[in-house]
Structure 1
């Protein structure tokens, strides 16, 4: 899918139409912005817990991860939530909670915790986390995310499939994990993350959804190559660019264009997982 052009349409709503819209049921909840995440976590009725996940069978190295369970009757698919460049934050845990509200076992690993003896990075400064994340190579990231996926699929309440969604640095990681083609991985969602090289994208075998802000050309310049490469291998890649939104729009929902983008992007995310995590 090509990057769409955008325009502004002003519509005058009649009183009857406004009344009809007001009578409609409220829209479903979406993932919180950074300002709402703490309150969302505090009020969540869902069971959540910390888990220590071995990086490989028999390994002494462990990944700290936040696991949230949905309130459902049947086994649920797993979604691995890959954090931003700042490490695992309360905001990312809030995103995981909303994924669980939408019916998924959501697991948000702290990919910086392995090098810190399993200690989480939510108490680090952003600069410290950014420095640590330079040590997380694509190979290390893929091995850790695959380990988290295996852990999730082995849970008694889990279906034997998983998807990946990531944000910023994690968005790039999500696309890279699609390249990795780990067993059980069925779908990826990329939020404002740069695309891998064409030679890497050519290895992708799972459907990938890319969600981007219009005002993020550093990232968006990599979309056409991903589109053409996925088309050449007859892969499934859908990209959506939201007018006026910037990088990190799901986190920064206090800005109107970012909020509008988030209201559209979250249902797209859930729809993607519902379609492919079977």
Structure 2
């Protein structure tokens, strides 16, 4: 099935999907409200299908791409799950690379995030994508079940799992010791938290449409940020101006971009919310930012 662009959906339909994807709407009510748009031969089932993730669309870098190497790794997370698993990807040639922690959305380490991790490896980074669902058996193979599982985990313990991942990257034998972090949705909010919690570990942060931190914590930030938001993402955009004001007031280095006409999740190329020009531009900026901020100055 080909992906329909967001422009072919009523904006309210995309907003309903966003509410469902973030747990603000249960499946029963989601389907009931979609029924209002099932007209002219269009069924609720076909709407559900067209809105659901299609993982085949996300494979920009194949798992066996000769430019990179990948492996499943386990690392210690004493203050979180105890043991965490994730996908590690790095260039096939070379010895040491700047590192990037990749933090998934609210549904575990799905194929989209795995592909993002491989994309970073093709750009010269040592990339680790932990799976927050590790203590529950790992990503279950679909996002609906993944969302349910992730809601069962304690948010503080998950944060500790990602903190442990960043520390693991910093001392990894393939790492230069420079560590960046990128995250999407739930992961975007975690980017802010890691930059605040371990400012001496994180050298650069790139949150994609993540929940903003408490503004009173901003003075603790050290790492430069590159923030990516979507103009149609009312929930996240509501807090964006206040965050930027706080960053400016505290003289914190940051870049902030808003992609006009794009929805929350515009970088995720498995759903209709994907916005190709916005996603490509944001990713180009992300790679350039990490290459600049994680360059070995020693």
RMSD: 2.4
TM-score of the two chains, using structure 2 as the length reference: 0.74
1: CA distance between counterparts of 2:56 and 2:179? 29
More helix by share: 2
| Residues 202-239 of structure 1: CA deviation (Å, up to 9, x unaligned) | 32111111111111111111111110111111101211
| Residues 112-147 of structure 1: CA deviation (Å, up to 9, x unaligned) | 213x2xx32142x43332233235455323321221
- CA change 1:64–1:162 in 2 (3 A) is same
Check the 8 A contact 1:189/1:210 in 2, yes or no. Answer: yes
- CA change 1:191–1:94 in 2 (3 A) is same
- CA change 1:97–1:50 in 2 (3 A) is same
TM-score of the two chains, using structure 1 as the length reference: 0.79
**Residue matched to 1:48:** 70
Find 2:120's aligned residue among 83, 95, 99: 99
Q: Which sections of structure 1, spanning at least 5 residues, go unmatched?
A: 1-32
2: CA distance between counterparts of 1:250 and 1:173? 17
Are residues 1:185 and 2:202 paired? yes
**Residue matched to 1:120:** 138
**Residue matched to 1:228:** 245
Find 2:130's aligned residue among 93, 109, 112: 109
Check the 8 A contact 2:104/2:129 in 1, yes or no. Answer: yes
Look up the SS of the partner of 2:277 in the other structure: helix
- CA change 1:276–1:257 in 2 (3 A) is same
| Residues 159-201 of structure 1: CA deviation (Å, up to 9, x unaligned) | 1121100011111111121111343210100111121121233
Are residues 1:237 and 2:254 paired? yes
Tell me how many residue pairs correspond in the alignment.
241
**Residue matched to 1:207:** 224
Are residues 1:76 and 2:94 paired? no
